[in-house]
């Protein structure tokens, strides 16, 4: 039961058993840092204490967490509820019930998906399963009591992808297809002005970019709604495009398995149009994680100077394609990851990139029962320098051990809080509903998902939810 949930601080001395010390959750209860002006080195006033480059700002908790709770048992597998809670896991509210979705005519639910704008003003409710041409959404607005009023005329059909950005909603629809290659029409609605006035502004891809395209209509929007990024994929490459308000469509990069544009070879693709991409808070930089030839790279695109690409090599193989040989013995060091999963984030000050890296390499010829994934930080300045990353350039926030063990919490999605100090992520649970540690190798520590918060420096980890019949998904940060 929700009223019986235990709020577990994982790094505290009270639970720092030998089994959990390997998780690397920081010191017991004291994560303070000395920042006085002592410069003599003897601990007296005047000494300069070296600054920790991976220190985290002070947490404010001035935000709330929105997440989906999807049924994971046979009798509730079709159910999905949207929940809202304070940053410490308290005051959990079912937005689906609070908003009165089931009382509308016709009644609605979040079973097929509900999505809320970051400013907690707008909601999009998916009304049914997708068809070959997309799905339908109904748009609504929250009142101060979190009740939903559907917008007159706010029904959008045959939607492929959509995203809220400020008081805008962008969406794509399939326009026409030439065999497996399709064009998509992009539109925007100014929600605070006229919800009945969709403004088509772009068709993508077109012309030569449509040839051999496997693009499926997905995109990523900048927080201020002035830029979009699209990944136009083929069976051997990905072409990175940006749409910029006032400028239009701009090509940022072309990445090929072997070779370059006009001379690209190889079969099979490492890319989809849903691959991990992030905008910095100002919208200037776009981060993209790539595999080309022998290298895994982090790439940064300067949207103010299109064509300017800076990249850092994360890992490489001696010969052949990286993605096909990364799991060979001795290729990856202990601090490296096989590939990046989920959406990365920039810190609010734009100084760091935070992302999830996963290693699912086979063990003794078999896929691991539970892959290991961690949350990492890297300085934007390091990537802009173009240097090959070393262990010192990367900070592992979660420090999960490999194996089918509870301490391997396996993050699958995350969000960055506006205080720049807190990460919210969904991972496998640590505690059962009675407050005890879940046993290694058990089904729940492998199959369930709960919501966590953790400081950017890896301390103060806290499991916020504990709902046995449901698995948490897709955490989002919204205003207080």
Distances (CA, A) of 420 to 144, 165, 331, 357, 415: 27, 20, 34, 20, 11
Question: H/E/C letters for each residue in the chain?
Answer: CHHHCCCEECCCHHHCCHHHHCCCCCCCCCCCCCCCCCCCCCCCCCCCCCCCCCCCCCCCCCCEEEEEEEECCCCCCCCEEEEEEECCCCCCEEHHHHCCHHHCCCCCCCCCCEEECCCCCEEEEECCCCECCEEEEEEEEECCCCCEEEEEEEEEEEECEEEEECCEEEEEEEEEEECCEEEEEEEEEECCCCCCCCEEEEEECCHHHHCCCCCCCCCEECCCCCEEEEEEECCCEEEEEEEECCCEEEEEEEEECEEECCEEECCCCCCCCCCCEEECCCCCEEEEEEEECCEEEEEEEECCCCCCEEEEEEEECCCCCHHHHCCCCCCCCCCCCCEEEEEEEECCCCCEEEEEEEECCCECCECCCCCEEEEEEEEHHHHHHCCCCCHHHEEECCCCCCCCCCCCCCCCEEEECCCCCEEEEEECCCECCCCCECCCCCCHHHHCCEEEEEECCCCCCEECCCCCCEEEEEEEEECC
- Residue 24 pLDDT more than 80? no
Provide the percentage of residues in the chain whose pLDDT is more than 70. 90
pTM: 0.87
- Residue 253 pLDDT more than 80? yes
- Residue 93 pLDDT more than 80? yes
- Residue 14 pLDDT more than 80? no
Q: Please tell me the least confidently modeled range out of 95-104, 234-243, 410-419, 433-442.
A: 95-104
Give the CA count within 13 Å in the CB-facing half-sphere of 433.
11
What pLDDT sits at residue 293? 85
Q: What is the pLDDT of residues 150-195, one digit of tens each?
A: 998 899 999 999 999 988 999 999 999 999 899 999 999 999 898 8
- Residue 96 pLDDT more than 90? no
What average pLDDT does range 207-234 have in this prediction? 94
- Residue 98 pLDDT more than 80? yes
- Residue 32 pLDDT more than 70? no
Q: How many residues belong to the chain?
A: 480
What average pLDDT does range 204-212 have in this prediction? 94
What pLDDT sits at residue 38? 41
What pLDDT sits at residue 45? 53
- Residue 33 pLDDT more than 80? no
Reported as a pLDDT band with limits 50, 70 and 90, residue 262 is confident
Rounded CA separation 269/259 (Å): 14
Strand 352-359 relative to strand 339-346: parallel, antiparallel, unpaired? antiparallel
């Amino acid at each position: 039961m929700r009223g019986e949930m235990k709020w577990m601080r994982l790094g505290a001395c009270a639970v720092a058993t030998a089994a959990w010390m390997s998780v690397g959750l920081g010191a017991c209860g004291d994560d303070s840092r000395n920042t006085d002006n002592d410069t003599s080195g003897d601990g007296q006033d005047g000494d300069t204490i070296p600054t920790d480059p991976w220190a985290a700002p002070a947490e404010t908790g001035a935000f709330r967490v929105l997440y989906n709770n999807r049924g994971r048992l046979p009798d509730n597998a079709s159910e999905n509820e949207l929940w809202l809670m304070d940053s410490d896991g308290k005051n959990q509210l079912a937005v689906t019930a609070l908003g009165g979705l089931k009382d509308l005519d016709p009644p609605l639910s979040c079973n097929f998906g509900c999505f809320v704008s970051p400013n907690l003003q707008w909601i999009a409710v998916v009304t049914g399963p997708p068809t070959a041409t997309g799905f339908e959404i109904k748009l609504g607005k929250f009142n101060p009591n979190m009740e939903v009023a559907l917008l007159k005329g706010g029904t959008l059909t045959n939607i492929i992808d959509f995203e809220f950005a400020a008081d805008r909603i962008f969406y794509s629809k399939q326009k026409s297809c030439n065999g497996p290659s399709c064009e998509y029409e992009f539109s925007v609605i100014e929600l605070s002005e006229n919800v009945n006035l969709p403004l088509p502004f772009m068709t993508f891809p077109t012309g030569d970019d449509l040839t051999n395209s496997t693009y499926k209509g997905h995109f990523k929007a900048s927080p201020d709604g002035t830029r979009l990024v699209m990944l136009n994929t083929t069976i051997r490459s990905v072409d990175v495009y940006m749409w910029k308000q006032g400028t239009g469509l701009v090509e940022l990069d072309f990445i090929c398995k072997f070779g370059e544009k006009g001379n690209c070879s190889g079969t099979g693709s490492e890319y989809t149009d849903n691959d991990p991409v992030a905008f910095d808070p100002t919208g200037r930089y776009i981060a993209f994680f790539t595999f080309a030839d022998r290298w895994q790279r982090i790439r940064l695109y300067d949207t103010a100077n299109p064509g300017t690409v800076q990249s850092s090599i994360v890992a490489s193989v001696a010969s052949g394609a990286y993605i096909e040989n990364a799991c060979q013995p001795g290729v990856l060091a202990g601090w490296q990851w096989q590939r990046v999963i989920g959406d990365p984030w920039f810190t609010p000050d734009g100084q760091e990139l935070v992302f999830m890296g996963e290693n699912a390499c086979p063990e003794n010829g078999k896929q691991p029962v539970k892959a290991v994934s961690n949350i990492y930080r890297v300085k934007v300045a390091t990537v802009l320098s173009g240097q090959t990353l070393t262990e010192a350039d990367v900070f592992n926030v979660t420090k999960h051990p490999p194996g089918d063990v509870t301490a391997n919490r396996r993050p699958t999605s995350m969000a960055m809080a506006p205080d720049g100090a807190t990460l919210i992520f969904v991972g496998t649970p640590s505690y059962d509903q009675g407050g005890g540690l879940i046993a290694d190798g058990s089904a729940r520590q492998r199959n369930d998902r709960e919501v966590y918060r953790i400081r950017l420096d890896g301390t103060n980890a806290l499991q916020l939810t504990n709902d046995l019949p449901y698995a948490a998904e897709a955490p989002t940060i919204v205003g207080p």
